[in-house]
Structure 1
Amino acid sequence: MRRRTPPSRHPRRHRTPATLGRPLPRDGADELTWLLFHQDQVISLAQALRHMSRRAIRHRVATDRWRQVHRAVFVTHNGPVGPDQLRWIAVLAAGPSAVLAGLTAAREWGLRRYDSSAVHLLLPAARRADRLPPFVIVHRTTSLPEEDVLPVGLPSRTMPARSIIDAAQWARTDEESRAVIAAGFQQRLVGGDDIHRVLDRMPRARRRRLIMQTASDAAGGAHSLAELDFLTLVRRAGLPEPSRQQIRRDPTGRRRYLDVYFDRWRVHVEIDGGQHLDPRTAWADMQRQNELWIAGDRVLRFPAWAVRHQPGSVIRQLRSALRAAGWPG
């Protein structure tokens, strides 16, 4: 009869991005070693006391083997403290009900271009958290259902749609709020009606109407803040509603995306950001524009700064192009 192997006392749990780059502890490693592996070498006082005495903890700090980074949190090495460890310090300092949220959680999901040393935490409204590290920003909520929190992985964090919504709520300005929503769609963290489904559970969310409108536009294809601004100009001017991010194929069969396309009148608008100044990008843009002209489309191009700072000129040229293409006005 085949003998069953007893289950390991230290199961190799779900590996987070923070642990993927580090070697697993050796077979037979004790519980403390596994705990420190999963928590990126950060531990709370309460956790440490389950494995050693206060005297042993003080000795490790006194001999520089550990470093006390908060009144009840330690880093178990004396090297530099990285972003992953800052997140663990924040969560352990705030207590077991804290979850990474907003931009911090969104970055964990892969959001790019929003780097910050601040760590955003979400706590239940009734939960107190005193004397937290200065880099921690605490937000409170009366609504955090289970479906809004990642069920696996450590430290706990909100799901992508909730993370984007909270980041938009907590942004300093409406423009920053719209930008992070657009980035969430552009970078494929969210899609479709993900944002709307979560907002249905958040009737008191700050900027709720702005978030819903921006998400609707972004889901329709306006994946940059400049494209969203352009769409707002079009609506205010009473021009026809365009398609966004329409797919076309070039002569080689590759898929190309048109920023804004007025299908009925075959007027195509490109909104150029800073990346279009690169010579290789500029040449690719020229080739695509030439192909559209050859196919019979009218092509207009505007830099993103003109959409924001010279909207009158942008709308005048767009209106003229649409009329020339047969739009009755």
Structure 2
Amino acid sequence: MGEERVDAAGRVHLLAGASDGIVRVRDVPWLDAHRLQREIDAGRWEVVRRSITIVGAPMNERSTWRLALSSASPRAALDGVTALRCAGLSGFEDTIHVSVPRGARVERSAAVRIHHLRDFDEDDVQAVDLRRVRPALAALRAATWAVTERAAYTVLAMAVQQRIVGAAELDASLGRLPQHRRRSKAIAGAVVEIGGGAEALGELDFAQLCRRHGLPRPSRQDRLQRPSGVFYTDARFAAYGVVVEIDGIQHLTVAQARQDHRKHNELQLSGDVVLRVLGAELRCDPEPFMRQLQRALASRGWAG
């Protein structure tokens, strides 16, 4: 009997070693309840959220993901930021997100946010080691579930910057998102900006903000000939010598940053005041920048 127990325990330990220290109870149907209980009573194993953990074995982030999936239905998949982190995203922390089909029975946990999805589709799931939603859809859902629009924009931008997903993939997956009265437009706008349409998008937002704040109407895409080249301004208040440059995510590349610095320096040398703002800032939190712009215009003679 002792030899049989060691055999069973050894098999469980082998499985645990290949799966971040976690073995789902449903994956070891050959392990009967009496055998399992003997290992628990001996202090060698614990059962956490329908999974066996080896007492004293090192645990890592992937272990917590496995436990999260284990507590949900067999069709559960990591989703949102968690799916992106599983795919390699770094630098963005959040609650563990797991999606299940609507109506699935799950074990609730304060550490895991379960999303019951009406449109849950197995074709959206990658079953490579850990079940996770494909990056493009996971990124868009992460943006939808984010606490703020700033966080929504950030997770989309980081996913593209770190090559977890391409901008074109995000755009192609937009139709999969349910309509959200507040977020849909903002997320679609962020995808456009990330995809390289920041100029048109940012300038449109900016023109609306100027009207809302009672500011003069700026000219757009003014062509300026300067000693180091020809430059186009995003928005220019020529009567007051104030220029606004609206930066999208593509401005973070070295080549674009070099061009931006040349333009900035030329405008400053010609006497203009140059203010820069992220396109996302105009949508998420424009008021601090608009106050700066009012100050700049007032210092150049605008009477308000």
Asked if Structure 1 and Structure 2 have the same fold, meaning a TM-score greater than 0.5 normalized by the shorter chain, the answer is: yes
Please report how far the alpha carbon of residue 315 of structure 1 lies from its aligned counterpart in structure 2 after TM superposition: 6.4
Pair 1:124 & 2:101 matched: yes
2:212 is equivalent to residue 212 of structure 1: no
Please say which of residues 91-100 and 60-69 is displaced more in the overlay: 60-69
Matched, 1:53 2:49: no
**Could you list the runs of 5+ residues in structure 1 that have no partner in the other structure?**
1-29, 223-227, 243-249, 251-257, 272-284, 322-329
Residue 112 (structure 1) aligns with: 90
Q: CA-to-partner distance for each residue in 1:136-192, whole Å, 9 max, x for gaps?
A: 110011213344222x41210011111111111112233322332233333333333
Question: C-alpha separation between the residues in 2 aligned to 1:155 and 1:288?
Answer: 43
The Cα offsets for residues 234-265 of structure 1, whole Å up to 9 and x where unpaired, read as 553264667xxxxxxx9xxxxxxx9x963999
The residue aligned with 1:98 is 76
Structure 2 match to 1:142 = 118
The aligned residue for residue 233 of structure 1 is 206
1:44 counterpart = 2:24: yes
Is contact 1:199–1:208 with CA below 8 Å preserved after alignment? no
Question: TM-score by structure 2 length?
Answer: 0.67
1:62 — aligned with what?
41
Distance 1:162 1:178, change over 3 A: same
8 A contact 1:120–1:136 mirrored in 2? yes
Partners of 1:318 and 1:234 in 2: CA distance: 15
Change in Cα spacing, 1:217 to 1:132, as seen in structure 2 (3 Å) is same
In structure 1, give the amino acid aligned to 2:136: A
Identical-pair percentage: 23
The alpha carbon displacement at 1:94 in A equals 0.7
1:1-329 correspondence to structure 2 within 5 Å = 32=12, 35-50=15-30, 52-70=31-49, 72-116=50-94, 118-129=95-106, 131-150=107-126, 152-204=127-179, 207-220=183-196, 232-237=205-210, 239=218, 262=234, 269=245, 289=261, 293=265, 300-302=274-276, 308-314=287-293, 317=296
Q: CA deviation at 1:84?
A: 1.0
In 1: Cα distance, 2:125 partner to 2:48 partner? 27
Instruction: Determine if contact 2:139/2:155 at 8 Å carries over to the other structure.
Output: yes
Task: Tell me which amino acid in the other structure corresponds to 2:209.
Answer: R
CA distance in 2, matches of 1:202, 1:40: 32
CA contact (8 A) 2:79 2:133 kept: yes
Q: Aligned partners of 1:230, 1:189: CA distance in 2, in Å?
A: 28
> Which consecutive unaligned segments of at least 5 residues does structure 2 have?
1-9, 211-216, 222-227, 248-256
Q: Distance in 1 between matches of 2:44 and 2:219?
A: 67
Cα deviation, residue 268, structure 1: 7.8
Aligned length: 256
CA spacing shift, 1:179–1:291, aligned 2, 3 Å = closer
Letter in 2 for 1:233: F
Q: TM-score under structure 1 normalisation?
A: 0.62
Alpha-carbon displacement from aligned partner over 1:45-84 (angstroms, at most 9, x marks no partner): 222332x2222212222222222223x2221232453211
**Counterpart AA for 1:135:** A
1:91–1:100 Cα contact (<8 Å) kept: yes
C-alpha change, 1:203 and 1:86, in structure 2 (3 Å) is closer
CA contact (8 A) 1:149 1:156 kept: yes
- Taking a change above 3 Å as real, the CA distance of residues 233 and 204 of structure 1, as seen in their structure-2 partners, is closer
The CA deviation at 1:35 is 3.5
The structural deviation recorded for 1:318 is 8.4
**Secondary structure at the counterpart of residue 188 of structure 1:** coil
Change (3 A) 1:140 1:287: closer
Task: Say which SS state the counterpart of residue 157 (structure 1) adopts.
Answer: strand
Please give the alpha-carbon distance, in whole angstroms, between the structure 2 residues aligned to 1:313 and 1:137: 40
Q: Please state how far the C-alpha of 1:294 moved relative to its aligned partner.
A: 6.0
CA displacement, residues 283-324 of structure 1 (integer Å, 9 cap, x when unaligned): xx9998468636988783547799651413236758999xxx
Question: Hey, what's the Cα distance between the residues in 2 that align with 1:198 and 1:287?
Answer: 32
